[in-house]
Structure formats: C-alpha cells, structure tokens
Chain A
Amino acid sequence: MLKNYLLVAYRNLVRHKGFSFLNIAGLALGLTACLLIGLFVHDELQFDKFLPGGERVYRVYTEHTGKDALETYSSVSPMFAPTLRQEFPEVEQTMRILMRASTSLLEVGDKKIYVEDGLYVDSTFFGVFPLAFKYGSAAGALDAPTSIVLTENLAKRFFGDGNPVGRELKVDKSSFLVTGVLRSGLSKFHLNVNYLVPLAAAQIPPARMKAWGWNQFFTYAKLKPGTDVRQTEAKLQAYINEKVKPTMVGEELNDKPFLQPLHDVHLYSAAFKFDLSVRGNITYVKALSFIAAFILLIAGFNFVNLATAKSMQRAREVGIRKTLGASRQQLMGQFLSETVLLTLVSVVLAVVLTALLLPSLNEFTGKDMAFDLLRNPELLGLLAVLTVVVGLVAGFYPALVLSGFQPVKVLKSAVVTDGIFGRVQWLRHGLIVVQFALSVFLIICAIVVFRQVSYLHDKDLGFNRDQIMFFPMRGQNMSQHYETFKNELAQVPGVASVSIGYGFPGDQVAGDGLIVPTDGEKKEYGVTQLMVDYDYIRTLGLELVAGRDFSKERKTDKDQAFILNETAVREFGFGAPDQALGKTVQWEVWNDKNPDSLKTGKVIGVVRDFHYKSLYDKLEPAVLQIFPGAYWKVAVKLKGDNLSSSVDGVKQVWGRFSPESPIEYRFLDQNFDDMYKAEDKLKSLLWIFTGIAIFVGCLGLFGLATYAAERRKKEIGIRKVLGASVATIVGLLSKEFLVLVLVAALIAFPAAWLAMSRWLQDFAYRIDMPLWAFLAAGLTAAAVAFITVGYQAVRAATANPVNNLRAN
C-alpha cells in the first residue's frame, strides 16, 4: 500500500517538475533559514553553559546615577570582591579582572607579537571559571606574580606544539614564566582571552586597591549552593549604603550594586558600559527566533497552499480510487504520505543547503558553529519530528478535503467547485497580504538602510581621511624623542606631513571640562579635548574658518592658545567665529604633581566642524591645544601613488627608534569603515531577507493563482467562447491579486516608516526618509505579483476553451 502511495507521489512529482521544484524549493529555503537562525540562536544560548558550577556564579555590576541618566557599569570598584568575601558568608569565592589598555607586546626570543585580550586576574580565576588545561593545571597556576597562563592558540604561535610550561615569555618587556596552557574551545566563554597573568603583576599601589570610586574591575562572585541571590544582593546594597557611603570623603558614590547571573552575561548586557565580555543581545535572539518561526509558518502555509491547489487537479484520481474501493482513511493516508515525502525531500535539501551556507554564516557572525547531524542526535530527531509535523499539517487539509469528495461528482466533472475550498478564502488572502506586506516592508528597509550606509561611508566629514597612516608610539625612546622621530618621518619620501597627538578622528578622544570666564563668572563646559601639535590641522586637512593655526614661531601658542570648533563657539555663546578670537578660556592641566594648575589662554582660531566620532554621535564642542604630555598617536599623511615604498620608509624610521617593538599601523579611513560594520552587516542581512521574503511571497501567490485559475477554468472557457480576449481574461485574473498587494502596501508603508524613522533617529547625521523608496517597494511588489499571477493567467486564458467545457 505505502509503496503504491510513494510510487504515485514520486510520479506526480516528476510529472509536474516545475511545480514540485517550486514547492520543494520554497519549503527548503524556509527550513534553511530556520535552521541557520536556529543554529545561531542555539549558539547564543550556550554561552558559559559549559562551565561546571556556572549557575552559582554572578557578576557584580552597578547602576550609576550620573548627571544625565542612569547608566549601568559592568566594571566596578576593586573593593567589592574583598567585601563580598569577608562580610558575606554565603559567598564561596570572588574574582576580579582588571580592565586595561588594549594590546601588549609579547616576546619569546626573537618572536614579537602584539596580542590583545590579556587579562590581569585574581588567582581565584580558575575557581570561578574552571577552564580545562592542556598543559599544567589550575592549582597554583596564578599564584606567583610572574606566572602566565596561555591559550592553546597563543601557545602554538610562540612555542609550536610542544609543552611550554616553565618557558619564559615577556609581556611589555616584563618577564613571565608559563605555568599552564588552556585547552582550545573557548568560543562559548563570555570573555575573550589570549593569556592570563596575576593581578599582582599590574603592581597597583595597595592604597588604590582600596578605592571605592575606582571602577575598573570586572568582579565575579561564586555563591555557596542554595544561596538566595536576591537576598545577597539586597544585603550588598544595604552594606554599601550603610557602611561604605558614610566613609566617602570628598566624592560621592552614586553606585548601586547588583548581581547578574553568569548565564545572563552574554545576552543581557547590551546596555552595559565598559563591558569586556563578548556581548550578544537577547532582543536580537528573540527577534530572530520570532522571524524563524514566522518563516516556517509562511513556508508551511505556502506549501499547504500549493499542495492544495495542485490536489484540485487530482480530484478525478480520488474519484477513481474511491470507486475502486479506497476508504477515506486510505486516501488520507495516501495524501499524507505524499506531503511527508515532499517535506522529506525539502528537509534533506535544507540540510544540504544549511551545511553549504554555514561557513558563510560563521564568517558573518564570527562564530564557529558546527552542523554535524550524526553527532547531534537531538537535532536529527528534531528534523525528523519537523518533517512529520510539517508533512502532516501540509497534507492534512488536502487529504481531508479530497478524501471527502463524492466520486460521482468529481468523475463527472473535470472542475471541482466544492465550496469548502472557498470557505477559507479570507485566510488565504489574509496570509498573502501578510507575506506581501512583509516584502514591501523589507524592500523599503533595505533601500533606506542602503542609502544611510552609503551616506555614512561617503559623507564629507570635514577633514581628509585618505592615505593617513596611523599608529601608537611604542617605547620610551620614541616617546621622549618624539620631535626627532616626527622630523625623520617627515623626511621619508612620499610623506606629506606628520602629526603627533592624542585625539585623532576615529580613535579614542578625551573629554574634559573647559572653563569659560564670562561676566566675572567661571562657567565650565564639557568638551572634547584634542591634544594636538603644530601640524594636526594641516595633516588632517581641517579648514580654519577664523583666526590662524598654531605656529611654532609664536612661543605663546604652546601654553596660551586654544583653537575651537564651530560647535564650541556656538555653545560658549561667542557669536560668529570671528568674534570668538581673543576670548579667554581655561583648562585644568592633566598633571599628577600639581592637580590645581590652570592653563589660561586665548582663542586663536576656529575650525570648521569635523566628525572625529561616528555619525551616530552629534558633534560636540571640541577644543584643540598643544599639550605634549598626552602625545601618544601618530598620523602620517602620505602623498602620491607609491604608498608601499612610503610605508616601508616609515617602518625604517620606526625601526631606528623602537627596534624592540614592531610597528602596528592602520589607515585612518579603516577606523571609520570599522565604525559602521554593524550597519554593513545589517545591509547585507536585509538584502538576503528581502530576497527570501519576495521569493516566498511569490510562491504563496503562485499557489493561489494556480488554484484560482483552476477553479475558474470553466468560467474562463465560457467567457472565451463568448468572445473575451486573452488580455481581458489576464486582467480579470490578475486584478484581485493586485488588490491584495495594494492592501499589503498600505499596511507596510506606515510600519516601514515608523521602523526606519526610529532606526535613523539613532544617527545624529542621517538621510531624509526617501519617499521614492516607498513607491519603488510598492511597484516592485506589484510587478513581481503581476508576473507571478500573469503566468498562470496567461496559461488559463490561452487554453483551448473546448477542453475545459467538454467535461461538463
């Protein structure tokens, strides 16, 4: 019996190749999207789950009531850890990680590599995070201040495959001894880590470690089993209020501590400031899960739709089978096994597609997800269940309807006009509207995002970012002789100019107060402090709108001159740029020895506003001043075409000043391109989803059009006999679907408008909402719908009417 079913199913499939292809492809595509999203979501949910005892680990974070708003800090005072351990008996262990500057130079013999993600940690690290060791062991691995634990990957880069335990390694010129190597496979750990050294190695003065106001430590606490964390949290908050705040002198403590479960760190920290952890976003995870479910629903619906439309043509077969004695159950069995088979083919195809696309997804997301069905019986079982469920659901409706046909009726007539198909019309139409609304919505979003992203990349930023080599200085020799270094760089052939300072576009900038004495009162403004030299404006190609650039010839420029940007001039109420010249401003000098020293000077120039941050941020008042004490970064403007020889020349000069550290350079425009990586990804994602949505929407429409053409065969035949032209009939059949698309567009327009307005609002600098995008999206959807429906309509309209009428 089953053999017969499958045989007929197979032959039906082969006989209607195009139709089968569409149906299988639609479901396969939907399932592939679901599988890929599912893998991603699953992966996101797995963070830190591999750590034994992780459910008892909590991270301390604080809510800080600042002058503007409530902010959440993931880095806290070094005092939380000892306090928790000493005052709270339910705390089993605590551990701190120091937040520090990004890269360090690691050396073994002649091998020198800049390495990121080195963590300064308490020796209790492995008590809280029991990571697996490849060489050495957790016990005592971080006890000596000179011990260092490497990841397998890093160990391999320096020592190859051998066991490096006991070997020496230098970090920023200080010596460490390797005490262990962590096993690889830390991709689901919320911390990016390359190596671990004891906190003691940071040589922080003991007094500093007692500062409640120094928020630079990621702090974890492991609670004893059975502890009620909410109680501990409340106790901790009370402790801070009652025991700590009263002891604070001269500064205010506005931090309220909380305990965040380790398993929440990855997904629930999106709003945290200064976070070190690898962050996901539960909103995305939820949205993606929803999208996956939606895609599956739509794909399943289209599958049902197409299968039902197709099965209309098989009414006669049902009639014959019934006449020959087939029971209703047997017929249902037949149709169900057919749809299950179709689903199975789709699932297999989806599995293959998923396996093929996963590497791209991994690259896109920076993950290393695996899709190995044989080693993952749960996934295999899930797919099996999915096959059966989708197959049964998809087959249930046609099975129920067709098996209920009266053979007398279907054998006599080639056309089925059973009312039951018509009864769910509103549902079919409703779902088509939903699909097309989604398509129109996505097309609009794709266009808007594309335009905004182009704008981000191409907008005139007020300075010239092309061909600027950019790197930090390294080593005392270079810093102390920065002027000589700069001069030598300037003499390299192909170098147009060199600027050394702190506060280059796309890089870190410092914020600090600037005092503007007005009417005998001293008013302080928060401004961006750009610590520059005499060549900064020239190197970046900034435009002076009033006054002059800093000049080496004028001795007072170093200590008594400031240049403002236009925004600062406006904020300070100086009026026109010209009027700002000569105004007095003051700044509290960054100086350890004399914290109260005040630098007083005059405004000598005003530069046109330029975007030193991403276009997310509104331009802030900025002040440029000569302050060699903060010089750190170097920008080298190159000219001409022979970039590589110029770069080589710069490297040679570097080698003379800092032979022990290799140069680490980028180009300034890369900094800006990197700022919009998320937007670039969003853009690609949107194109993909738009493509899928349109394809899937068309499938649904195609199924419906097929069904409608089939249903109205006789009507079309009669109309043709009475003299209707092909065009009239195509119009007749297409009209109702175009109405659906119109309704879909009307739903999608306001939704897209709202969504995109909100998205654009995040950018301080943005495009105007392009109205043509709405028109284009509507027309695209209508055109696609017309082509889809038109195919069926033309087929129905050009068919010989005699064939459709004779059967009656």
Chain B
Amino acid sequence: MIEIENLEKIYRTDEVQTKALNNVTLRVAEGEFVAIMGPSGCGKSTLLNILGLLDEPDGGRFAFAGTEVAQTSERRRAELRKKHIGFVFQSFNLIEELTVAENVELPLIYLGVGAAERKQKVEQVLEKMQIMHRRNHFPQQLSGGQQQRVAVARAVVNSPRLILADEPTGNLDSSNGNEVMELLTELNEGGTTIIMVTHSEHDARYAHRVIRLLDGQVVLENLTQAFSA
C-alpha cells in the first residue's frame, strides 16, 4: 500500500536548517494497523502529513498504492487524497457551521457523489457510529467523544483504503478514548489500512506494529505484544 524509501523533509528558516525526516524507509501493507510513536518534535506529524499527501517530501521515493507521488502535482494529490484517504485529528477539526450529518457528507460532495446516494451513505455510517440521533446537531453541542465519532464517521464515509489518525484520543478521556480505538480496530478488521500517530503506549497496543521515530529517523520497528507472541 505504502512504500517509502530514503524520505527526507527539511524545514528551512533564514539561518537554520532542520531535518524533520532523515532517510526514512518504511513499508505498510494493505490491511495493516501501524502506530507511529516518538517524542515531540521527532517528525512523526511531518511523516503523517506526507503520507496523507498534505505535504511534499524534499527527497526520496514515495509510492502510494503503486503510484509514485513524491513529486506529483497538488491537483493529482488532492485527487488521490479524496478518493483513498480519510483523516482523523486530535482536535476533531469539524466545521462548526455544519451539522453532524453535513460534516460527514462533505467528502462525498467533493467526490461528486449524487444527493440520494450521499444521504444513504451518511445515514449508514452514522448508524454504524451510533451517532444517528445527533445528526442535526452542531459540533459544539456534542461531547468530545461524540465529536471524535463524527470525525471518524467523516473519515470513513467514502470507504477510503487508508485512514490516517493524528493522536485521535489526545483530547479524550480514557473511556471515550477506548471507544474510538475500538472503532478504529473494527474498521481495520473490515480491511481498512490504518496509520496512527500517538503518544500513548496504551493506544499503540491496538496496532499490529509500532514504528518509533527519533530526530527524524526510524530507530525501532517492532510488532506489538498482541502480535509478537
């Protein structure tokens, strides 16, 4: 699904040059659930942004589902992004002017899905996320756990092959956090590839594999306990 080789990302200011990613090589197979861990500033968010085609690497190769995308155009990346990738953020990033259902509907609109089909898909996914009863509420009217469920619903509504989660439980208490992790696991079991950035060892245990970054480099790649045995 994802093949990265010698990936580099450099941030430059007038005088200082920081290597955010240094020779990162990584493979993620279809259907995997991978956690990326590391201390603040290690480059994990940068990596996730590149994986999500939101940012461009400065060097190295990056193949997404067999397509080389390291140097491709913004238009093409947007195309791939909206078709294949769903995002879940720590701060949910729901649009406050839109209701739950409208937020979830948004990716389908940008994909050009017809109104009837959109309605059906939105209802399905809201049902599945058990948030149907809140469909006409605005994000501010929901609890954090509910908001993240909406965000997950929005991420999966167009059945992406890859879900990128950036500390999805970071703003949640433990019971809500567990609920979200269960959701992600469920999706993964349904065949969706998941790459998650997290600080939490607890959350990382839901993943098949943990990649540890330090100063822009992969320092350790190991299977989690659940899969190491």
Contact = CB atoms under 8 A, between A and B. Distances in A.
A408 interface: yes
Nearest to A12: B97
B148 to A, nearest CB: 14
B78 A327 contact: yes
Given A4-B109, A7-B102, A325 B78 contact: yes
A330 B83 CA distance: 16
Interface in B144-166: 154
Interface string A320-354: 11111111101000000000000000000000000
Contact of A11 (B94, B97, B109, B154): B97
A13 to B, nearest CB: 10
A324 B82 contact: yes
> Helix, strand, loop or mixed for chain B's interface?
helix
A324 B106 contact: yes
A15 B52 CA distance: 32
Contacts of A15: 97
Given A316-B93, A325-B78, A325-B82, A408 B110 contact: no
Contact of A8 (B89, B95, B110): B95
A326 B110 CA distance: 6
B109 A327 contact: no
Contacts of B133: none
Nearest to B158: A325
B98 A324 contact: no
B111 interface: yes
Contacts of A406: 54-55
A406 B55 CA distance: 8
B54 A324 contact: no
A324 B107 CA distance: 5
B142 to A, nearest CB: 16
A317 interface: yes
Given A327-B75, A407-B54, A4 B107 contact: no
A726 interface: no
B81 A323 contact: yes
B33 interface: no
B109 A323 contact: no
B185 interface: no
A320 B95 contact: yes
Contact of B107 (A7, A319, A325): A325
A221 to B, nearest CB: 69
Interface in B78-112: 78, 81-83, 87, 89, 93-98, 102, 105-107, 109-111
Contacts of A408: 49, 54-55
A1 interface: yes
Between B55, B78, B89, B97, the greatest number of chain A beta carbons within 10 A of the residue's beta carbon is seen for: B97
A288 interface: no
A321 B102 CA distance: 12
A680 B105 CA distance: 62
B93 A319 contact: yes
A7 B96 CA distance: 12
A412 B49 CA distance: 11
Interface string A291-328: 00000000000000000000000001101111111111
A411 B89 contact: yes
Between A15, A316, A324, the greatest number of chain B beta carbons within 10 A of the residue's beta carbon is seen for: A324
Contacts of B93: 316, 319-320, 323, 411
A301 to B, nearest CB: 26
A773 B225 CA distance: 83
A11 B106 CA distance: 16
Nearest to A13: B97
Interface in A671-715: none
B158 to A, nearest CB: 9
Contacts of A320: 93-95
Contact of A4 (B78, B83, B102): B102
A691 to B, nearest CB: 34
Contact of A323 (B74, B87, B96, B97): B87
Nearest to A10: B97
Contacts of A323: 52, 54, 81, 87, 93
Given A4-B109, A408-B55, A411-B89, A321 B95 contact: yes
Interface string B39-65: 000000100010010110000000000
B143 to A, nearest CB: 20
Given A321-B106, A408-B49, A8 B97 contact: yes
Contact of A324 (B49, B75, B97, B110): B110
A254 B125 CA distance: 96
B80 to A, nearest CB: 9
A320 B89 CA distance: 10
Contacts of A317: 95-97
Contacts of A327: 75, 78, 110
B168 to A, nearest CB: 14
Interface in A624-645: none
Given A11-B97, A320-B95, A408-B55, A330 B110 contact: yes
B212 to A, nearest CB: 22
Contact of B154 (A322, A324, A411): A324
Contacts of A411: 89, 93
Interface in A2-47: 4, 7-8, 11-12, 15
A408 B53 CA distance: 10
Contacts of B96: 317
Between A1, A15, A330, A408, the greatest number of chain B beta carbons within 10 A of the residue's beta carbon is seen for: A408
Contacts of B97: 7-8, 11-12, 15, 317
B47 to A, nearest CB: 12
B165 to A, nearest CB: 13
Contacts of A321: 95, 106, 110
Contacts of B81: 323, 325
A607 B107 CA distance: 93
Contact of B110 (A11, A316, A325, A412): A325
A7 B103 CA distance: 12
Nearest to A14: B97
Contacts of B95: 8, 317, 320-321
Nearest to B55: A408
Contacts of B105: 4
Contacts of B102: 4, 7
A748 B95 CA distance: 46
A407 B109 CA distance: 19
A699 to B, nearest CB: 24
A15 B83 CA distance: 32
Nearest to A329: B75
A316 B106 CA distance: 15
A316 B97 CA distance: 12
Contacts of B87: 323-324
Nearest to B81: A325
A411 B54 CA distance: 11
A36 B110 CA distance: 43
A231 to B, nearest CB: 67
Nearest to A1: B109
Contacts of A325: 78, 81-83, 107, 110-111
16 contacts: A4-B102, A8-B95, A317-B97, A319-B93, A321-B110, A322-B54, A323-B52, A323-B54, A324-B106, A324-B110, A325-B81, A325-B82, A327-B110, A330-B110, A406-B54, A408-B55
Interface of B: 45, 49, 52, 54-55, 74-75, 78, 81-83, 87, 89, 93-98, 102, 105-107, 109-111, 154
For the complex of A and B, the 4 pairs showing the least CB-CB separation, nearest first, are A325-B82, A11-B97, A325-B110, A324-B107
Given A323-B81, A328-B74, 8 more contacts: A7-B97, A7-B102, A8-B95, A12-B97, A320-B93, A324-B110, A327-B78, A406-B54
